[in-house]
A and B are shown apart, each in its own frame.
Chain A
Amino acid sequence: MPTVTLRGITKRFSDVTAADGLDLVVNDREYLCLLGPTGAGKTTALRVIAGLTTPDSGQVLFDDRDVTTLEPEERSAVLLSQTYSLFPTMTVAENILFGPNIRDMPDEEKERTLVSLLDLVRLTKRASSYPRELSGGMQQRNALARAIATNPDVLLLDEPLRALDARLRIDLRKELKSLAKALGLTVVHVTHDQDEALVMADRIAVIRAGRIVQVGTPQEVFNSPTSPFVANFVGQSNFFVGTVVASTPEGSEVEDDQGRRVKARPTDVPVGGKAAVAVKVGHTQLVKTGATVLRGTVERMLFEGRVVHVDVGVEDLGRFSAKIPASHRDRYHVGDEVGIAWSRNKAIVFPYPEGGLEDELRVD
């Protein structure tokens, strides 16, 4: 299985830049999730790897081989599209045998491939059904079997779970990943769903406006985002804007123009520099009594099952959100005044973005 490398890929469509000097390395046998908001250029990156879109400039390498101008059928990189694109005129079995038929596999071998793949995706009984007669989950497995039947080096998944029911989507995450691992495939999985990416990926590449903004393990991307955008896009964050007033190897302090001073991790932003402090919603605590730097009024409480999402309006700072255990929900009511707190090492200091914080966090 090859290592897939994208080097300086650029692609413009009339007025949209879908890839803007995109660099990415997908290691051999790695399950990489390409995570980004709608319109970030995820699908374009995938199509460039598949050979369906020719980049304006840049290179695509499979190991050391330059495949930039190679036809899709010569790449052994199979694309599984959002809607699976099962051929409606063929049965489940015929769909699976599409690849083997194309390359004239001997009949016995075809038969063997078919039997084992039908078994693998649990569709043996539906072999002669047509795709439209299958449930969404079955269709997905059929498409997967069809992809695997061509014995691909690279599997490209474009939002493979999007068309499924919420429950099934979660069940299939594990299944999809273990199958890819068992077959030793190099996988690029495109998604806009951060939960999906966090659960499934070996590494996550966060893409925005045609560029990769951060690559790392799910833990790295979640816990150590390198920009306010990633901090907010992978697990929502609350932001506090101010000036760095103290910076030591143990930690830093940031103060806003109202004199409120919060504690955060150590930072490279020099004292006196403008900064944005990000704290994940899940790391934000509410305090009923006692002195805290930030105080606000509960504006809204949303019951989410095991937790309750609480929005707190803080004067001049806007809304801070927190999750509290459902069992604590009677402690707070809309209109209550509460304190907001976090532990110092959960707060990350970023240099204040040039275009403003709002622009940095935009997801469109």
Chain B
Amino acid sequence: MGSGKRALDLISRRGFRKGWTLFIISFFAFFVVLPTIFILSYAVTDWSDIQANVLSDPATMDLILSSIVVSFEIAALVTVIDFLVGLPVAWMLARKNFRGKQFLDTLIDMPLAVPTAALGFSAAIFWAATPDPPAFSLAVISGPMLLIILLHVVFSYPYMVRSLTAILGEIDETYEIAGRTLGASRLTAVRTITLPLFRAGLVTGAILCFARSLSETGGTIIALATLYGRPMVEGDFQTGSTLIGLWRSASASDPTLLPALAFVSILLILLALALLAVLKLTIMKVRLPLRKVWPTSEKMLSRRPYPFFKDLSAIVFLVVIVLVPSFFIFTFVLTGASAGSLDWAPFVDSLVLSFLVAAVVTAVDLALGIPLALYIAKNRSGKLSQLLDVLVNVPLIVPTAALGFSLALFWSFLDIEASLPVLLIILAHIAFTYPLVVRNVVGAVEGVDPAYEETARTLGAKPIQSFRRVLYPLIKGSILAGAIMAFTRSLGETGATLAVVANANTAPVYIVDLVNAQEYSLAAMACIVLIVISYLAMLLLRRFTREEVV
């Protein structure tokens, strides 16, 4: 009691609070931001190596450039598709009331619960035209590009719909109603009044989708391996991320690959950051040519049956392109040929490792992410806070494979890749999940009237008491949402894991190995276990957020 009070007094001191803030910001700088972009320094220190081994080797250069071009092409197409098919669904969720809305709402998030390795495998066996396709699969796609685009749409789609729904919910519908009472048809009102207002949401959605697609490694490797019916080799269709994964595992035995690996990572990181800046600037600045109005045709399009067709096709797309491929794996297992006997021991080991990593990562994210979020949200006008707010996005946009490799180099002075690989994996996963917690909590804190906490302070509460008793109950839901996002992302991550520790043994990596060995039934079983566990985590989230008091 007495010591508890003394501890409370101590941590409420201004000096202590300053020190704590400094600690949190340093953690963010040295464990999240710096390791993420550390690889850029390689270009300075080892430029001669890059010059000798990469720039002067046309074959390697070709490979790198073509893989990066492919990565960006895919990401751009995926983002555009997500927007076109996500908008009608977001609209339905934000503006309409219909039976089964709650159900649709849950459906959208389903792919998020599935680790990308499992998702990649599930979608690949559904689409890929293999010599011996499983029952009920479409098996129509033989081109790797199309397959990967379809795959990336599956797991980036929810991000776009969520971002658009959030911003649509915030835009006051009365603008549109005013427009319509002034004589505009529904389509005209929406197009000229509402759409220009939601560019901010579009930027968020586009960045998230683009970054997800650019980052994706595990699912992509699995899908390609399934399509080819063998492990990937250097000459295959490559994205930037898969190339890093491939070279990274080869670099263990062939150190001459290091400069090429560094170069492709640097390029990916720089281009991703440049893209972030460009997207932010252009979408907010460019004036879309939305003023022109075509009254007659727009009035016609506003009438039945066009809106109905629009909604219908959006739903059909959701079901056929997103949901069915996500969960096709269950059909595959149910109708599958002899399941063989899974050697459970290594799989259980990998599962335990994955959960251990995800749990530790989530705990660290929460303990050190919430304070940073509070700092950012409460010092909005401060320069430092604004800078931190921008920096938090960096690990989100940097492709995780490049991030993982950068991190491996950053921590290489510790020399623990062999002795303590788990620690490296944890550090890598913290780097790209930390922003998820911070972003969620910043958003929530900004939504709470600061008067609550101020009143609590004048009523005699110390800062920590006012957080725990007043603010925490109000933002609990968002904290949990961030935690579950971090947990599932860590659980499903392949690219960063492979890049930071070449012979890691987490569950998604294990699944990649199974697919490479063409142990499809076993891979499917492993996927399902992973999906079920992730889905349980998701249910947990929904239950807790429902309890939230509005």
Cβ contacts B416-452/A at 8 Å (1 or 0 each): 0000000000000000000000000000000001011
Name 5 A/B residue pairs within 8 A (Cβ), A-sorted: A71-B457, A72-B458, A89-B549, A101-B469, A150-B459
Cβ contacts A102-137/B at 8 Å (1 or 0 each): 110000000000000000000000000010000000
Q: Which residues of B contact A83 (CB under 8 A)?
A: 449, 451
**Contact residue among A51, A81, A98 (Cβ-Cβ distance under 8 Å from B451):** A81
Q: Which residues of B contact A14 (CB under 8 A)?
A: 381
Q: Which residues of A contact B381 (CB under 8 A)?
A: 14
Q: Say yes or no: A78-B461 contact (C-beta < 8 A), given A83-B451, A88-B549, A89-B549.
A: no
Question: Which of B451, B458, B469 has the most chain A CB atoms closer than 10 A to its own CB?
Answer: B458
Q: Say yes or no: A73-B458 contact (C-beta < 8 A), given A87-B470, A88-B549.
A: yes
B460 close to A85 (CB less than 8 A): no
A: residues with CB less than 8 A from B are 14, 50-52, 71-73, 75-83, 85, 87-89, 98-99, 101-103, 130, 146-147, 150, 156
Q: Say yes or no: A79-B460 contact (C-beta < 8 A), given A85-B449, A88-B474, A89-B549.
A: no
B: residues with CB less than 8 A from A are 12, 14, 381, 449, 451-452, 454-462, 465, 469-470, 473-474, 549-550
Smallest CB separation, A170 vs chain B (Å):
25
Question: Which of A73, A75, A83, A88 has the most chain B CB atoms closer than 10 A to its own CB?
Answer: A73
Q: Which residues of B contact A156 (CB under 8 A)?
A: 458
Smallest CB separation, B20 vs chain A (Å):
15
Question: Which of B457, B462, B470 has the most chain A CB atoms closer than 10 A to its own CB?
Answer: B457
Q: What separation, in Å, do the CA atoms of A74 and B39 have in the docked complex?
A: 49
Given contacts A79-B454, A89-B474, A89-B549, 6 further A-B contacts (CB under 8 A): A50-B454, A73-B457, A73-B460, A73-B462, A102-B465, A146-B459
Closest to B548 in A: A89
Q: Say yes or no: A50-B458 contact (C-beta < 8 A), given A71-B12, A85-B449.
A: yes
A87 close to B461 (CB less than 8 A): no
Q: What separation, in Å, do the CA atoms of A99 and B462 have in the docked complex?
A: 11
Smallest CB separation, B4 vs chain A (Å):
10
Q: Which residues of B contact A82 (CB under 8 A)?
A: 451
Q: What separation, in Å, do the CA atoms of A31 and B351 have in the docked complex?
A: 67
Q: Which residues of B contact A88 (CB under 8 A)?
A: 474, 549-550
Q: Which residues of A contact B474 (CB under 8 A)?
A: 88-89
Question: Which of B12, B14, B454, B550 has the most chain A CB atoms closer than 10 A to its own CB?
Answer: B454
Q: Which residues of B contact A77 (CB under 8 A)?
A: 458
A87 close to B452 (CB less than 8 A): yes
**Contact residue among A51, A75, A76, A81 (Cβ-Cβ distance under 8 Å from B455):** A81
Q: Which residues of B contact A130 (CB under 8 A)?
A: 549
Q: Which residues of A contact B451 (CB under 8 A)?
A: 81-83, 85
B452 close to A85 (CB less than 8 A): yes
Smallest CB separation, A110 vs chain B (Å):
14
**Contact residue among B459, B465, B470, B473 (Cβ-Cβ distance under 8 Å from A147):** B459
A78 close to B458 (CB less than 8 A): yes
Smallest CB separation, A101 vs chain B (Å):
8
**Contact residue among A52, A71, A89, A98 (Cβ-Cβ distance under 8 Å from B459):** A98
Q: What separation, in Å, do the CA atoms of A89 and B474 have in the docked complex?
A: 7
Q: Which residues of A contact B14 (CB under 8 A)?
A: 71
A98 close to B454 (CB less than 8 A): no
Q: Which 9 A-B pairs have the closest CB atoms?
A: A72-B457, A89-B473, A85-B455, A79-B458, A85-B451, A81-B451, A99-B459, A73-B460, A78-B458
**Contact residue among B449, B459, B549 (Cβ-Cβ distance under 8 Å from A102):** B459
Q: Say yes or no: A103-B12 contact (C-beta < 8 A), given A79-B454, A88-B549.
A: no
Q: What separation, in Å, do the CA atoms of A50 and B449 have in the docked complex?
A: 17
Question: Which of A51, A75, A89, A103 has the most chain B CB atoms closer than 10 A to its own CB?
Answer: A89
Q: Say yes or no: A79-B455 contact (C-beta < 8 A), given A88-B474, A89-B474.
A: yes
A99 close to B452 (CB less than 8 A): no
Q: Which residues of B contact A99 (CB under 8 A)?
A: 459-460
Closest to A87 in B: B470
